[in-house]
Structure formats: structure tokens, C-alpha cells
Structure 1
Amino acid sequence: MKRQNYNFKLSPDEKNRFLAFSQSKGLALGTWLRALMYEAESTGNAGKSVSRELESIRLELSKIGNNINQLAKYFNQIKEPVSFHTHATQEDLLNEQLDELGKLISKTSKKLALVKPSVHRAENKKDDNTNKSN
């Protein structure tokens, strides 16, 4: 079966970003784009899961932040020395929360790097549509 070409337009910035990303992964641009389409087809997702994942990460970051604030408040209110066992337990809990926060920040940064171009395009499209209707 003979392969067919499919043409679509990209801005120069999109082309440069997509090309640089695909090359950084050792893939030709067409190979990378086909892989994305196969993934979307097999999962039924065309990018919507990323926004849900980011919302989930935001909620987790909020929970961890609240836990860290509670621990900080607790330590700041202590008037007398804390026994070694209690202090070690609280310190371990704080370190665990900080580790989780670091992991989520890293995960969020990676997701945002992938989503940012799409969000930017969507915002520009929304602005364009608003300007046209005014």
C-alpha cells in the first residue's frame, strides 16, 4: 500500500519547537507526529487528559502545602523542648512531604512544558475570536 502525504500548516515557531523536540528524542518530525496520533487514537485522548492531570497535580500540591503549613505552625508553637522521638517523627513527616512536593513540582514542570504551547495557542485563538466579535 502506497503511503500518502498529508499537509497542514504550522507557524514558524511551532515548526521550530516541534522539530527541535522531535530531534532531541532522536525522531524525525513525521515519526514523532505519527506516534502522537497513534497514542491519541489508542487512548481516545486528544490532549484533554493533560489538563485533568494538571488539575490533579494542583490539588495534590495544595494538600502538601497545607500539611507543610500545619507542621510549621506546630513547630513554631512549641514552648518546651520536644522529646527526640516526637521530633524525629515530625521531622520525618516534614521531609517526606517536602520530597513529595519536589516530585510533584518536577512532574508539573514537565507537563507544563508540554501543555504551554497548546494553552498559548488556545488563548490567542480566544483573543482573536473576541476581537472579531467586537
Structure 2
Amino acid sequence: MSIVAPPLSPSSRGIACLLPTLARGWRAARDRHACTQQRLHRLLAPHHAGMLAPVFDSLMTLYETALGRAFRVGTVTALSADERMLIDLLDGARPQRACITCPEGAARALHCSLCSTRIMLAMLG
């Protein structure tokens, strides 16, 4: 069975453009052993998208699991390779199997999370 998620709409892309900020906020919260969803909600709420905090928390957790290591953040002036790959995976520019080698279970979970995130973004926009 294949799951096909809709492409990101222009308004959904606005929230998706926040992905590096969301990923960095998530990573900072994880490193401090703080509540990741609370941090994500704070970042998403000004965009009327606070309800997506659990969606992005799941996406980040499963992405990190698939990577098999901690997610690496970029700098103020440059995205990390992990951030670029996550953006490409979310917008469908790169097929998952072409960029991440991980156990089948982790791959399926990440695939479902990417599809779910796209669907939730489409519903928002």
C-alpha cells in the first residue's frame, strides 16, 4: 500500500519555511531536557499553527531516529546538511531512500511522519 500525500500548498510552504527555526528550537529543548512540544508551540503560535507542535515533534523525533544520531543544526548564516535534507524530504525534492539508510521500521515510521506532516500542512493552508 502506498501513501500519497498532497504537495505543499503556497500557504503551507510558509509554515514549512520555519522548519530550520523549528528544528533548532526542538534540538535546543531536547539538549536542555525541556518540553519540545511547548517550545515548538511557542514558535508556531504566532503563525496560527500551534496545533502543529505534536506533528513537528514527531517528525523531528523520527527523523533523528532514522539518522541514528543527534540532529545537527546549522548556523545563523548556513543550514546544516541535516536541515537541508529535512526540507528536501518534506517538500518531496529528495526521495527518502536516496538520502537515509536506516532499518526498515525507522524508514516506514519516518515516511508516515513526512506524509502526515504534509497532510497537516495542507489542511492548515
TM above 0.5? no
Rg larger for: 1
As a proportion of its length, which structure holds more helix?
Answer: 1
Structure of higher RCO (CA pairs closer than 8 Å, 6+ residues apart): 2
Q: TM-score, normalised by structure 2?
A: 0.31
Q: TM-score, normalised by structure 1?
A: 0.30
